[in-house]
Structure 1
Amino acid sequence: MSGLQTTADGTEVVSTGSEAAALERPPLLVLDAVTGFLDAHGLGSGDLAWERIGDGQSNITYRIIRGGESFVLRRGPRPPLPRSTHDMVREARVQQLLGAEGIPVPQILAVCSDETLLGVPFYVMSYLDGHVITGSAPEHLDTPEQRGDISRAVVETLARLHSVDVTGPELSRLGRAEGYLERQVRRFAGLWEANTLRDVPLVEQVAQELGASVPASQRASVVHGDYRLGNLMFGRQQPATVTGILDWEMATLGDPLADLGYLAATYSEPGAESTVMDLTSVTKQPGYWSRDQLVAGYADRTGLDVSALPWYQALALWKSAIFCEAIYTRYLKGERPGDTFGPTLEEGVPLLLESAAETLRRS
């Protein structure tokens, strides 16, 4: 695994800064820079081995193996980066704060705000040994009973996250919960204009309908922003246990039902219409909870009124369409060579918007 790796989009990893400087497009890892950073923080010793892990379309994650120890390095994509996105320093801080509250997150080991090392800030965290479940489950969790336990763990972990007291001096600075939903609609409507090369009228139509029917938030909580099965690490034991919540890029304070709406909108079940955000194909198998069971289980554990959830699901689908459009535009501009996801978004984004409009009508 160690050494130089070339991929379809050019050279991703190089050994030295001089090699990086000679490239037309900057690499994602410079091994001598990473080695020096790890040395400075007492993390492992000797040569590096590495592999890219995860399925994220935004930030990039590597497993780093050094002297028999494993770490995880997480960084943003190649610049230029949109303003206020891919904030690795903030993402690391969120996990430090939530870890202190007993939420299962990786341990943050070192944070680098110096962009001269890799071109962007990054951080190093502990490596969690377990399973991320998307298309299949590990054998020890792949029975109807254990599948039900996986669904239960997903709901219980979300309810636990949303129970964290956010009034303290540190967590309260993560965001402004008041007006969160209205700001989401305004912000993402603007992001569409900044990240598209085509005219899709349904974006504005859904935005207007969302803005005209914003539900009243019942409480303030930490909102993960991308809470789904594929962002959870499960342990190797029975019953199914979440040992880590991953990918905190979009975390803030806001309405907890935004997370539940996103979970339900991206959760697969038999007979449901598929979209490019159909992110948990494994949950179509017998034993996994249905969307309605997820929602009811969450309501039982939190006491929140979930009757307006279709609005939150529509918001999630609409926001996902806007995120995906940004990916599609980067693909069209040649900034994602070798990408197989980008081409699917020509039709995938309009279909997401149609699904959002249909879901909103149910609210």
Structure 2
Amino acid sequence: MRHLAALQAFFEAEVPGCGQLQAELLHGGRSNLTYRVTDGRSVWVLRRPPLGGLTPSAHDMAREYRVVAALRDSGVPVARAVAQTDDVSVIGAPFAVVEYVDGRAIRNREQLDALTDAEVARCALGLVEVLARLHAVDPAAVGLAGFGRAEGYLARQIRRWNDQWQRVATRPLVGVHSLYERLAATCPVESGTAIVHGDFRIDNVILDAADAGVVRALVDWEMAALGDPLADLGLHLAYSDPAFDPVLGGSAASTSPRLPSADGLAAHYAEVSGRDVEALHFYVALGYFKAAVIAEGIHARHVGGMTVGTGFETAGEAVAPLVAAGLAVLPLGGRSDGR
């Protein structure tokens, strides 16, 4: 890692007693860069925005750090917050540091297939239960009452991801504007207000090494906000579509047919959260729109030579199928029964 000497000085000021640091890039993510940092005794995780980030609001380190710190004693499993800075002179970008959580990460189907059918089901249902637990947290009770304006969250999301498309688009794509217009025309009143993770899927959690049904930590909070909790569920279900596969190199764990169906996951969320999911089709369509723009952003950074690591070359293939899926689930003139 470049800037290791400056990072050493930062750690010595913020983490008393730390020893000589070593850092290595953790592969697998498609957005922020994530490093494992250790002094041989303790281990931390450092996250910073991607090189040449084209969607600045989606890579807010201070925002991510604030919500993780706030949730420490909430019952939602998170890594312990350690330090954060917006001082770009340290490593060339803002960054946040949390404690390393030992456990199991499941990013691809090969890793998922190491689990039995019973373990897969427990894992999938356990994720939904953690999501419901997050949405049950009172923002004011954990110091997040001023984390953002919850009212109008859905309309802002539609506008924001349309704006992000304008920033990252590398080619004209039929359907993107149509999906945006349909979402804007059918945007419902929010179903409620909660702390929203913003990027909830199986590879953004650390599972217990011995029990895949236990979540040790929910990670990657860069898009957290106060907003409509069903937006998290809708995106989680959009990530289960095989159209998302190319974003994670062609074998995303979230798209495995071994996982419970989208309908089954939605029903379980409704049961454990007590929330009405009747209008979920809109939220799934919004999830497809968001996932498509994220995929195009990854593609744009890859073609611009601004990615670090491997597996980015297929992300652009996901964009058109994700947009098409969003249009199918939110057709003109009414709802679809597809999800």
Cα shift at 1:100? 3.1
Deviations 1:27-55 (A, max 9, x none): xxx11111111111235543333221252
Higher relative contact order (CA 8 A, sep 6+): 2
Percent identity reads: 36
Cα shift at 1:217? 1.8
1:217 has 2:217 as partner: no
1:307 has 2:278 as partner: yes
Match of 1:230 in 2: 203
Match of 2:128 in 1: 155
Of the candidates 70, 73, 88, which is equivalent to residue 100 of structure 1?
A: 73
Matches of 1:274 and 1:58, distance apart in 2: 15
Deviations 1:279-310 (A, max 9, x none): 3257423xx42221111000001121112212
Matches of 2:172 and 2:211, distance apart in 1: 50
The answer to whether the Cα contact below 8 Å between 1:225 and 1:250 also exists between their aligned partners in 2 is: yes
The answer to whether the Cα contact below 8 Å between 1:131 and 1:138 also exists between their aligned partners in 2 is: no
Cα shift at 1:201? 3.3
Match of 1:118 in 2: 91
Matches of 1:209 and 1:138, distance apart in 2: 35
Other structure's SS at 2:271 match: helix
Other structure's SS at 1:260 match: helix
Other structure's SS at 1:111 match: strand
Deviations 1:127-169 (A, max 9, x none): 1000011224489x82222222111211110000000112458
- Rg (Cα) greater in structure: 1
Other structure's SS at 1:312 match: helix
Other structure's SS at 1:162 match: helix
The answer to whether the Cα contact below 8 Å between 1:48 and 1:64 also exists between their aligned partners in 2 is: yes
Matches of 2:308 and 2:64, distance apart in 1: 27
1:359 has 2:329 as partner: yes
Match of 2:162 in 1: 189
Matches of 1:82 and 1:97, distance apart in 2: 25
Cα shift at 1:258? 0.5
Other structure's SS at 2:240 match: coil
Which structure 2 segments of 5+ residues have no match?
none
Q: TM-score, normalised by structure 1?
A: 0.83
**Which runs of 4 or more aligned residues in structure 1 lie more than 6 Å from their structure 2 counterparts after TM superposition?**
none
The answer to whether the Cα contact below 8 Å between 2:59 and 2:222 also exists between their aligned partners in 1 is: yes
- Equivalent runs, 1:1-40 vs 2, <5 Å: 13-14=1-2, 30-40=3-13
Matches of 1:274 and 1:74, distance apart in 2: 24
Q: CA RMSD in A?
A: 2.4
Which structure 1 segments of 5+ residues have no match?
1-12, 15-29
Moved more, 156-165 or 330-339: 330-339
- 1:108 partner letter: A
Deviations 1:96-117 (A, max 9, x none): 1111322111001112222111
Other structure's SS at 1:77 match: coil
The answer to whether the Cα contact below 8 Å between 2:245 and 2:255 also exists between their aligned partners in 1 is: no
Match of 1:332 in 2: 303
Distance 1:343 1:234, change over 3 A: closer
Other structure's SS at 1:147 match: helix
The answer to whether the Cα contact below 8 Å between 2:179 and 2:326 also exists between their aligned partners in 1 is: yes
Match of 2:115 in 1: 142
Deviations 1:334-358 (A, max 9, x none): 334876424541x421121111111
The answer to whether the Cα contact below 8 Å between 1:225 and 1:259 also exists between their aligned partners in 2 is: yes
1:297 has 2:268 as partner: yes
The answer to whether the Cα contact below 8 Å between 2:244 and 2:255 also exists between their aligned partners in 1 is: no
Matches of 1:311 and 1:342, distance apart in 2: 30
Q: TM-score, normalised by structure 2?
A: 0.89
The answer to whether the Cα contact below 8 Å between 1:196 and 1:325 also exists between their aligned partners in 2 is: yes
Cα shift at 1:274? 5.9
The answer to whether the Cα contact below 8 Å between 2:54 and 2:297 also exists between their aligned partners in 1 is: no
Matches of 1:70 and 1:87, distance apart in 2: 23
Match of 1:250 in 2: 223
Match of 2:288 in 1: 317
The answer to whether the Cα contact below 8 Å between 1:137 and 1:282 also exists between their aligned partners in 2 is: no
Matches of 1:80 and 1:239, distance apart in 2: 33
Matches of 1:127 and 1:56, distance apart in 2: 16
Moved more, 335-344 or 71-80: 335-344
